[in-house]
Structure formats: structure tokens, C-alpha cells
Chains A and B, each alone.
Chain A
Amino acid sequence: MTGHHRAAKRPGGPRRVLSALMAVLGAVVLLGSVQGTFAFWSDEASMSTGSLTAGTLDVTLDGNLAGRANDGGTWTQTTFALDAMLPGESRATSFAVRNAGTSGLTYAVAGSATGALAPALRFSVYAGGAAANTGTAAAGNRAGSCAGAAVATDVTLAAASAVLTATRRTLASGASEQVCVIARLTLDAANGMQGATATATFAFNGRQVGI
């Protein structure tokens, strides 16, 4: 009795279900057709760079120590030496400091010296000038001199490197300048310095401009 009553309450039930299914199907079809027929117009543009290359710094000394592989290297100028030095005698040398890199740089000069004679040696550095040496060992009057502007005068060098330039010097890419150095045995060198020896090293520390 109850089941009959329910059946009477839902006359045409299957048709409603069918209608609902049809409606859903229609909606799906409708949605599908919308996606299938809508297109998006678009446009793209790309930009490629040229080659980006880092600049190079390359400090050379009379053409020596070129290239990145020689960064921090040392070139020994064997002619910058003097044997049988007497008090007051000196020796000068000059060489070209060049910026062989592609970027401008500034450089500072630092010096150090080792050996028992080092405390009695005085070093002077000049920029923009050449060296000249006169005198003879027999006369005990060998003297070195430099043209150019004094950068450091009568400096005693120790084993620890010390900066000699008060201000950094500038070299554009491809530019160079003469640097001259004098080593002099001071007049008041102690008697006990006889026969003593020393060597010196000068470091040219290049750094990019703008720093």
C-alpha cells in the first residue's frame, strides 16, 4: 500500500531523470563547443644580447708578466744590483709599467727587502722618468739617479711589504709609464755591514678604476 502510494507520487519519474541527464549532456556539449571554437590571438618578441665579456686587468713590467696566468708573479731585473757597494753609492733602474688589459686601472707600489744589508739601504721611487748611472767601483763613486716625480724618497724596506705610494696612480687601458727606482747604501752604514747582502721586491698592485 505504501509502495503504491510512493509510485503515485512520482508519476513520470524516469522521464525526469532522463530529462536531467539530457540537460547535463547538453551543458557538457555546449561547454565543449565553446572551448573548441574560441581562439586567442598572441604575439611574442625576444631579444638576444651581444657577447658580454668581463674586462681584464693586466699589469706588465717592461712587457713581462703578461696575462692572467702571471697574476702575482715576479720578474727579476738582474741588472738592478750592485756589488762591492761603499757607503753613499747607489744604483738606479727604470722600467715601463703598462696596463695591457682592457679596463682602466689604478696601481700602488709596495716594497720589501731581505738580507743583512737591508737596514742600511735606502730606496726611492720616481714616476715618469728614466734612470741614469755614473761613476766607477774603483773610484767608489757610483751613483744612480732618476728623472720624473718622486713618489717615495729614502725609504728603508723590511721583510714585511710596505706601501710606498701615497696615492694610487692611474693607467688607462693600453697606457704605460716609466717607473724608476734607486737603491742607495746610506753614508752612515755601520762598519759591520761590510760584505753583507740584500735583495728587494716591489709589488705593483693593479685594481680596477672606480673603486
Chain B
Amino acid sequence: MPRLLLVAAGLVAGTLALLAPDGTHAAFTDDAGLGSGTFRAATLATPGSVTCTTVPGLVNQADIAWTTTSTNVPHRIEALSNGTWVPVALVPAGTTTVRINGGMMGSVLSLGLTYQARVVAHAGVSWTKASTPTFSLQTVSLLGLGLSVNCAALPA
């Protein structure tokens, strides 16, 4: 009986194989390809020659300026806080300077604290390129209001 079943199954499989279109049909074909041009990711330039200068007459403010060729991407100023770089000011694309005050460093009360800061070019949410060298910001602030700020470049 099992042998009979095997024979029957073989006959059915053979018949199906014979009837299968792929096995008996040739097919005309024609292929056309579309090639793209080149997709190239941007390269963010390192913000360079960063300067930090206090603003005459405004004791709690300083101007930070930098040179870069990445003028078509936004930048941000970051300060080193407990070993982590955190943004303190955002700069739109096309701008290479930003004015900050002592209160922007985020402390409710800071008396003569020195922050290490840097400029970062960034695109979207993931691409960054930081400046070298960094610079220092010495601030005095109370309740988030900057009272005074001094800045100086740090060695590279």
C-alpha cells in the first residue's frame, strides 16, 4: 500500500512538473537600467580660530567668534560640565559669532567659576565637529543672571 501511494504521488508530481509554465514557456524580456548621479554627504569644517572677548560696557557679556568654512550648517557653543559637553548657545547657519552672558552657563549661583568651552559645527541631530582650541569662560552669576564674565583662550 505505501508503495502504491508513492507511485501515485510520483505520477501527480510528474504531471504537475510537466504542466508548470516555467518549465515549458520561454519568455521574451527586455531590461532597462537607471543609474543615479553621486550622492555625497556633507563634510563639516572644524570651527577654527575661536576668539572670546568681553564686551566693553557690558560686564556680564562676551562675544565668541570663529572662522569656519561650514557656514551652511548651524553651530553651537558647548561648555564642559562634569566631564560632559553641554550646549549653552545655538547659532543659526550663516553666522560665525554669538554673544553670551554669564547667566547662559546654566548655574543659578556661580561665583568666579571657570568653564571650558568650545564651538561645535553640527548638522541635524547627529553630525558634529568641534573646534580646537577650546577657551575658558569665568563667570559670576546669580539666579541665572550673569553679573560678569571673563574669557581667555586655552592652549590647543
Contact = CB atoms under 8 A, between A and B. Distances in A.
Interface of A: 54-61, 64-65, 68, 70-88, 91, 93, 95, 97, 101, 103, 105, 115, 117, 120-121, 137-140, 181, 183, 185, 187-191, 193-208, 211
Contacts, number: 179
A140 B32 contact: no
A125 to B, nearest CB: 11
Contacts of B43: 84, 194-195
Interface string B54-97: 00000000000000000111100000000000000000011000
B29 A208 contact: yes
Interface residues of B, number: 33
Given A190-B126, A208-B27, A139 B36 contact: no
Interface in B76-125: 93-94, 123-125
B38 A187 contact: no
Contacts of A70: 32
A77 B34 CA distance: 7
Interface of B: 21, 25, 27-44, 71-74, 93-94, 123-129
22 contacts: A55-B28, A57-B29, A60-B32, A71-B29, A71-B31, A75-B34, A76-B34, A76-B35, A83-B38, A85-B39, A120-B41, A139-B72, A140-B123, A183-B39, A185-B41, A191-B126, A193-B127, A194-B42, A199-B36, A201-B33, A206-B30, A211-B27
Contacts of A187: 124-126
A72 B33 contact: yes
